[in-house]
């Protein structure tokens, strides 16, 4: 390890020396643990960097990362200097803080950590995520970004990112996840997510179950925040799809008659609907793309300068790995980061859509606090065999427990560690006529991607050596 990487590792060790609730098996989401006052003091000492650029702020159970990535990509196409804050990372901590599509340099993290240390020493009980968020906000200010696209870490109301003053707040699909933390009903979860709504700032809401929608509508009304709802104010529909990309239509309610004519009669001179092409696969990404598009339309009303062509180009060039990502087409190797029951259902629908007729071998690993039984209920109708594995994350469920649960669903299964070895075995067992689908957590998705990259590299060396 060279001197630069040693310094980077020391900076990460410093950040992780604070409380990191993502590594904790059980905790209570409460003002005592998630006190925005701490974050407010830290940002004030750093000269409030989060107030020096415009912000898109996104919360949601699923889809917020994909939606945020599409918004950021479109903004870059429009010529804006764009910050992007996301979590968790897939391969490298630096992925969490990006400017213009590039992860922060390791030495910049070292420098930023050294800058904040004296301020951090003056504030008690700060957490790893709070420090990371402050680093992101500070870096964006120092880089002079025009706009930052900021993804909530957990919940919304008490999240460290929730001190921004957004030009648009965006709430993506809400479902059951982190229930011990956010609540056991959709109403409770929606109330936490809707905590990002600011007085007088517009809100975009993806389609929701009535229980969640009503809570968000109530909070938006109480705060005088105009609410734009997909499925009421804007509509969308899938148009075409392949293993490389898919397209969708999006239109405002007032354009419904034009859309009716388009659907029945085809294009006419002088008018055509927005037709967006995205490289992200699955019907759920159609919803995410529509949510991103509408968020940009609402921002245009706030003064954002961006054209339809720039939005279309940005969406077509978005990069967001590990979400129904096709690593190999024939036979298929798919990696996905589904980690709750709703996302497992969406994954199964994508399997039905893109892999019809293929038997599926499931490579699976998940965190112990996840609804694995619920995920298996959704996935097992399309699975004929399971390879269970586990990541190095402290909350990882043991592979042997996953085997036992697979047997309860009547599927043959075996535990294989580490993930890299599990991938090799899955590919061998699948042969040439079975699809391998790896999922269960972002950590499993990352490990499979890294394992596949290593396999491809070894294959290339063998071919070139012949």
Write out the two tokens for 324: 């129904």
Q: How far apart are CA 58 and CA 60, in angstroms?
A: 7
Q: Please tell us whether the domain made up of 325-465 is placed in CATH 3.90.190.20.
A: yes
Position 394 scores a pLDDT of 83
Number of Cβ within 10 Å of residue 228's Cβ equals: 21
Read off the pLDDT of residues 212-253 as tens digits, 9 standing for 90 and up.
999 999 999 999 999 999 999 999 999 999 999 999 999 999
Q: How far apart are CA 270 and CA 230, in angstroms?
A: 26
Q: How far apart are CA 98 and CA 140, in angstroms?
A: 9
Position 466 scores a pLDDT of 59
Position 184 scores a pLDDT of 67
Residues sharing a CB contact under 8 Å with residue 135, sequence separation 6 or more, in sequence order: 97, 109, 112, 113, 116
Note the Cα 337 to chain centre separation in Å: 9
Position 225 scores a pLDDT of 98
DSSP state of 268: B
In this structure, the strands spanning 385-388 and 413-415 are parallel
pTM here?
Answer: 0.94
Q: How far apart are CA 85 and CA 83, in angstroms?
A: 7
Residues sharing a CB contact under 8 Å with residue 283, sequence separation 6 or more, in sequence order: 238, 346, 349, 350, 353
Position 129 scores a pLDDT of 96
Q: How far apart are CA 311 and CA 150, in angstroms?
A: 18
Q: Could you tell me the mean pLDDT of each successive run of 10 residues in the chain, 466 residues long?
A: 94 93 50 78 98 98 96 98 96 97 98 98 96 98 98 93 98 74 79 97 97 97 98 96 96 94 82 90 97 98 97 98 96 95 95 96 95 97 97 90 98 98 98 97 96 92 74
Return the closest-CA partner of residue 204 out of 83, 246, 196, 14. 196
Note the Cα 457 to chain centre separation in Å: 28
Find tokens 């965006």 and name the residue. 170
Read off the pLDDT of residues 400-455 as tens digits, 9 standing for 90 and up.
999 999 999 999 999 999 999 999 999 999 999 999 999 999 999 999 999 999 99
Q: Computed from CA positions of residues 144, 319, 134, 305, in that sequence, does the dihedral angle turn out positive or negative?
A: positive
The domain limits of the chain are 3-316, 325-465
Q: How far apart are CA 130 and CA 153, in angstroms?
A: 10
Return the closest-CA partner of residue 9 out of 107, 96, 130, 134. 107
Query: In what side-by-side order are the strands of the sheet with 234-241?
Result: 234-241, 246-252, 275-278
Q: Please tell us whether the domain made up of 3-316 is placed in CATH 3.90.1150.10.
A: no
What are the backbone dihedrals phi and psi of residue 99, each rounded to the nearest 5 degrees, phi first?
A: -130, 125
Find tokens 């629908």 and name the residue. 349
Rg of the chain over Cα atoms, rounded to whole angstroms, equals 22
């Amino acid at each position: 390890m060279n001197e630069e990487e040693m310094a980077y590792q020391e900076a990460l060790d410093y950040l992780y020396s604070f409380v990191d609730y993502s590594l904790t098996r059980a905790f209570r989401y409460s003002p005592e643990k998630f006190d925005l006052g701490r974050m407010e003091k830290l940002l004030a000492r750093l000269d409030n960097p989060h107030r020096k650029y415009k912000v898109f702020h996104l919360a949601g159970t699923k889809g917020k990362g994909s939606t945020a990535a599409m918004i950021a990509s479109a903004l870059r196409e429009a010529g804006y200097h764009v910050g992007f804050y996301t979590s968790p990372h897939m391969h490298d901590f630096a992925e969490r803080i990006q400017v213009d599509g590039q992860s922060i340099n390791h030495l910049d993290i070292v420098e930023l950590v050294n800058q904040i240390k004296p301020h951090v020493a003056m504030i008690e009980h700060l957490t790893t995520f709070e420090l990371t968020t402050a680093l992101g906000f500070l870096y964006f200010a120092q880089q002079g970004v025009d706009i930052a696209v900021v993804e909530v870490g957990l919940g919304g109301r008490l999240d460290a990112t929730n001190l921004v003053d957004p030009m648009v707040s965006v709430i993506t699909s809400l479902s059951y996840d982190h229930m011990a933390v956010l609540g056991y009903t959709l109403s409770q979860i929606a109330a936490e997510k809707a905590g990002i709504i600011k007085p007088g700032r517009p809100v975009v809401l993806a389609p929701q179950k009535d229980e969640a929608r009503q809570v968000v509508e109530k909070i938006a009304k109480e705060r005088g925040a105009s609410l734009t709802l997909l499925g009421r104010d804007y509509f969308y529909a899938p148009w075409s799809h392949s293993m490389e990309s898919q397209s969708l239509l999006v239109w405002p309610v007032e354009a419904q008659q034009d859309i009716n004519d388009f659907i029945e009669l085809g294009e006419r001179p002088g008018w055509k609907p927005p037709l967006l092409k995205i490289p992200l696969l699955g019907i759920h990404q159609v919803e995410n793309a529509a949510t991103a598009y509408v968020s940009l339309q609402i921002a245009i009303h706030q003064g954002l300068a961006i054209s339809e062509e720039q939005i279309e180009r940005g969406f077509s060039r978005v990069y967001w790995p590990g979400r129904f990502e096709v690593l190999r087409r024939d036979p298929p190797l798919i990696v996905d980061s589904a980690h709750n029951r709703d996302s497992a259902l969406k994954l199964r629908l994508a399997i039905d859509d893109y892999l019809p007729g293929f038997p599926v071998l499931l490579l699976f690993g998940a965190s112990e606090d996840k609804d694995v039984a619920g995920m298996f209920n959704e996935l097992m109708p399309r699975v004929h065999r399971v390879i269970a594995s586990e990541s190095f994350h402290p909350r990882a469920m043991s592979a042997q427990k996953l085997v036992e649960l697979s047997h309860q669903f009547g599927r043959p299964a075996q535990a294989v560690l580490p993930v890299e070895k599990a991938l090799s075995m899955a590919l061998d067992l699948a042969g040439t006529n079975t699809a391998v689908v790896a999922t269960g957590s972002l950590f499993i998705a990352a490990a499979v991607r890294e394992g596949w990259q290593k396999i491809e590299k070894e294959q290339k060396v063998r071919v070139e050596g012949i």
